[in-house]
Amino acid sequence: MKLKLPAGTFRAYLFDCDGTIVDSMPLHYIAWKTSLAEYNCVYEEKLFYAWGGRPIREIIRLLSEMQGLNLPVEAVAEKKEELYLSLLPQLKAIPEVIEHINARHGQIPFAVVSGSRRSSVVGSLTALGLLDKFDTLVCAEDYKRGKPAPDCFLMAAERLGIAPSDCLVFEDTDLGIEAATAAGMPSVKVPLPFERSN
Task: Tell me: pLDDT of 197 over 90.
Answer: no
73-128 tens-digit pLDDT: 999 999 999 999 999 999 999 999 999 999 999 999 999 999 999 999 999 999 99
The strand pair at 12-15 and 110-113 is best described as: parallel
Closest C-alpha to 21, from 109, 117, 121: 121
Q: Which residues contact 129 (CB under 8 A, 6 or more apart)?
A: none
- Domains of the chain: which residue ranges? 12-23+90-196, 25-89
In the set 16, 18, 23, 151, the catalytic residue is: 16
Using CB atoms within 10 Å of the CB of residue 194, give its burial: 0 to 12 exposed, 13 to 18 middle, 19+ buried: exposed
Burial 162-193 (b: 16+ CB within 10 A, else e): bebebbbbbbbbebbbbbbebbebbbbbbeee
Query: Class for domain 25-89, per CATH?
Result: mainly alpha
Query: Class for domain 12-23+90-196, per CATH?
Result: alpha beta
Q: Is 16 annotated in the active site?
A: yes
Phi, psi of 179 (to 5 degrees): -65, -40
| 12-23+90-196 and 25-89 in the same fold | no
29-79 tens-digit pLDDT: 999 999 999 999 999 999 999 898 888 999 999 999 999 999 999 999 999
Structural contact between residues 18 and 116, judged by C-beta atoms closer than 8 angstroms: yes
